[in-house]
Amino acid sequence: MVHIFLKNLVKKWKAGVLVPLSLGLFILLIAVIWPDMREASDIFAIILESSVYQAMLGDIGHINIALWPGAFQMYMGIMLEYYMIAVTIFIPTKIITEEINKKTLDVTLSYPIPRWRFLLEKFGVYLFYSLLYPLFIMLLTFISTEYIKYNFAHLNVEFDYLVLTYSMIGTWMQFFSLGAIALLCSALILDPKKVLGVSAAVIFGMYILFRVGGMTESVEIVKYFSVFNYMSFGVTMSAATFPVGDFFVLLGVGLAALVGALIIFQKRELKY
């Protein structure tokens, strides 16, 4: 019943597992160097007061990296954004264009299922492996925190895992929404030579709006046009509450883009 999903789940397992795992392992690196790095936290704090860094880091630039949750939030927040931008630009766009490049789209569409279901099952593989990012982050955060507690008991390290859960829900929802937008770009354009550039322009453009909107109140409104603004890792961690409104914004944007991509792919004439 889900032959396409299972086939691609097995086919993509290496990249699907290793990429999110590499991000999770970055947390262990932070945990190893943080006890020594915290001694220089005053110097870092002065640097982070720069308006340039505040614009680049946004809300995560206002945290106290002398504390383990603060260091985790800042460094993990930066790496997570970089991973998210790269993954959502490259992976969903390849769902269709990969078949076109290999000249196998006619074969794959010969399965006795509607086009939209073929596309949905392949997108489901992306969503499944995207779920590994929050899972690996939560697991490695727990391991790293216990490592610090065991080896540096005098630091009295504590970590709020409920807040981390909130932020990880937001992380997966951003993967969903941004991925659906990239998939929509792919369904609209189909041309493998153009779709990657368009997807990159849209997603990275939203990231720029998010950062520019955080620089000053005079242009703050532009960040509300960016998916990155809703349930962002840094804001959710700092607020320590579940942003219900942001959740439904991401859900609405993601579903609208996904349904749009499925309808377009189902009805349009394919030339490849």
Residue ranges per structural domain of the chain: 3-267
Q: In the block, which residue shows the tokens 């242009």?
A: 219
Q: Are 21 and 132 a contacting pair, CB within 8 Å? A: yes
pLDDT at 100 over 70: yes
Residue 2: per-residue pLDDT: 79
pLDDT at 46 over 90: no
Q: In the block, which residue shows the tokens 């942001």?
A: 246
Maximum average pLDDT range among 37-51, 122-136, 231-245: 122-136
Q: Tell me the backbone φ, ψ of residue 46, rounded to 5 degrees.
A: -65, -40
150 sits in which H/E element? helix 132-151
Q: What percent of the chain has pLDDT over 90?
A: 55
Which of 55-59, 196-200, 250-254 has the weakest average pLDDT? 55-59
CA angle 199, 204, 207 (to 5 degrees): 140
Secondary structure in 3-state letters for 17-83: HHHHHHHHHHHHHHHHHHHHHHHHHHHHHHHHCCHHHHHHHHHHHHCCCCCHHHHHHHHHHHHHHHH
> Mean pLDDT over residues 104-130, rounded?
84
Q: Are 116 and 268 a contacting pair, CB within 8 Å? A: no
